[in-house]
Structure 1
Amino acid sequence: MSSVEEFRAEIRDWLATHLTGEFAVLRGRGGPGREHEAYPERLAWERHLAAEGWTCIGWPEEYGGRGATLEQQVAFHEEYALARAPARVNHIGEQLLGPTLIAFGTPEQRARFLPPIAAVEELWCQGYSEPDAGSDLANIRTRAELTGGGADGDWSVTGQKTWTSLAHEADWCFVVARTDPASRRHHGLSYLLVPLDQPGVEVRPITQLTGTSEFNEVFFDGARTAAGNIVGAPGDGWQVAMATLGFERGVSTLGQQVGFRQELEALIALARSNGAADDPLIRDRLARAWAGLETIRANALRMLDGVAAGAPGPEASIGKIFWATWHRELGELAMDVCGAGGMLVPSGAPAAGEPYDLDDWQRLYLFSRADTIYAGSNEIQRTIIAERVLGLPKEARP
């Protein structure tokens, strides 16, 4: 048996043994549009993973990981999804910030921040998007000024971030801010690590179409962080931020696709049971969805070469367009399979101030409307592909 097969068998057996007792009810809980589900219990599960050595498996051992190979990491994410284990609460720290600090951080930053991430003792959120700098991230206006001078000084951060996933549960935020007031676009930006539990920080939840609030606005009004909490040199923020986005589109996407396959298989079963599959147009769309999912997986496997080299390149934008569009269309197909009954919520109108009690297909349809927007809109991904992959002339910008 190969080492990858042994590793796959090890995590499969561990999940079968440990997703029991108090954790058994967590199977299938959480995820996009459902991050509110059993959050304290999922946090306890994540800390149990950490205690057993199953967080940050791709990190080098010297930083608290397992040093797992790329193939082993893929196996972990696939088996985790196949077991319907609960959605992770520490994804942003483990999969985004951790690799960024390993690549760009100082020894002091790694020693301070990596152990609490691996132990799930400190949770993180991502401070990128702003009201006027979403898809056009280079238009960032949040500013930071170094006060006090030298290593003993502080950064003072002022501005607004929006669509900040899980900021209401996070302890820290990695913030891209403009530290050179005379700079424009990609220049003069810096990547700062900012504590959220302090005066000058306000987190406001954003109510989504699903009635839940996993996204937030975050307001900084002179919030402080130590001078040493800058990743890279002042002005290097764009380079560091783009590397973080590359890590975001790494091996965990293979686990995401297992979840997509489970959704498609459940939808096919529903279409067969309620007679929707008798419609040749529905059958054709289901077949196209199956073919599309195979294309997504093939593209993801192709991009693993970029991951092996350190981080996915701009080719990762192809994968983002594929899966986002596919998943949004799956939500639309689900509503057509459900028929008129899909327009009714299971428990009727909610009490004042309470979200609607949506079923899985309604939640899929509503939340997947955002798939082609968040983490880089389809339009921006196409521009990246045109300019950085195909080498076409750059779009004129002011």
Structure 2
Amino acid sequence: MSNSIKQHGSIIAIVGCVLMACTQSNKVFTPGELWPDNKGVHINAHGGGVLYHSNRYYWFGEHKIEGKAGNKAYVGVHCYSSGDLYNWHDEGIALSVVDDTTSLLVKECIIERPKVIYNAKNKQFVMWFHHELKGMGYKAAMTGVAVSDKVTGPYTYLKSVNPNKEYWPVNFADSLKRKTVDMDTIKQWSAAWQKEVVDGAWLRRDKEKGQMARDMTLFVDDDGKAYHIHSSEENATLHITQLADDYLSFTGYFARALEGKMNEAPAVFKRGDKYYMITSGCTGWKPNAARSAVADHPFGPWTELGNPCRGTDEEVKTTFHSQSTYVLPVKGKEDAFIYMGDRWTPENAIDGRYIWLPIEFEHDKPVISWFDEWRLKELPGQF
């Protein structure tokens, strides 16, 4: 059940380990180990998500470089494709950062958690990502959007925004809209301070300029409506916003979820008529215990279900030393889902590993257990 946490410190180690594997066909998932693509190079798609289109899977993620500097965007968003989920073909850089210093997408900005969805109406592929501006750390808290007529790109960057400017959430009480409070006069993290956060102190603060949008994901429902789910209000509260019909902008129709609970890394999926969410707490690059929740509608209300992980105390407390990024429904297999997580290595960003594990259900609650190796045939359901 246990797996040593391997931290190979150099790109030389990565290349050396995968050269022998580059001609082999992967037939098993080995979470936390090196995962070579068709060129024998460790897959470079961190904080990613997967789109299934035309009988093929496409994995989009952050392209990292060696060293601590690799946590910024020096290249862009990488794309890989697969027909079986085990073996991945390098499709190149789908979205590139630029040298133009007048562009918000300039090199050394921060691009995180890119997700791509397909708009059937316009026959366009739409990518959204968490975007922080160069030299500003995490103060901008924006989300960016890019489009392409081809799934693998290149994607054309359109804009970055703080969403829902001048709009109130659909589930925010009128009495709270008029409330005024000076947060500087309240002891930070005290019970009184946290109550004001839940009551929307940061929401009201950001109404005129637009809300914060950090860790994010996308979800397309069965009716074609798309939702942008992101950490907002200083990461205290999740915002779930319906996108416009073209998926390129926000409608202003949004809801707050898990108010004041401090959730990051949202991953949303649907099973039957229920919507599920897996998130993490807020501990920077360090792993923490996962959370899960369920709702009857993307806007909620969301009911917390607790930590979905099962295993040793260390595994449960750290989500197997990973952080959620996406939940992948396996095409052609009912009720089959894969937890996708990242094992971050911020001191050498390119060496980040991927934790893919099967999701099972106990009494309609998601459960994630550790396997040193596993196969798709072991997932619930039948192909």
Greater strand content: 2
TM-score range, shorter chain: under 0.3
Report the TM-score when normalising by structure 2.
Answer: 0.25
What is the TM-score when the length of structure 1 is the normalising length?
A: 0.24
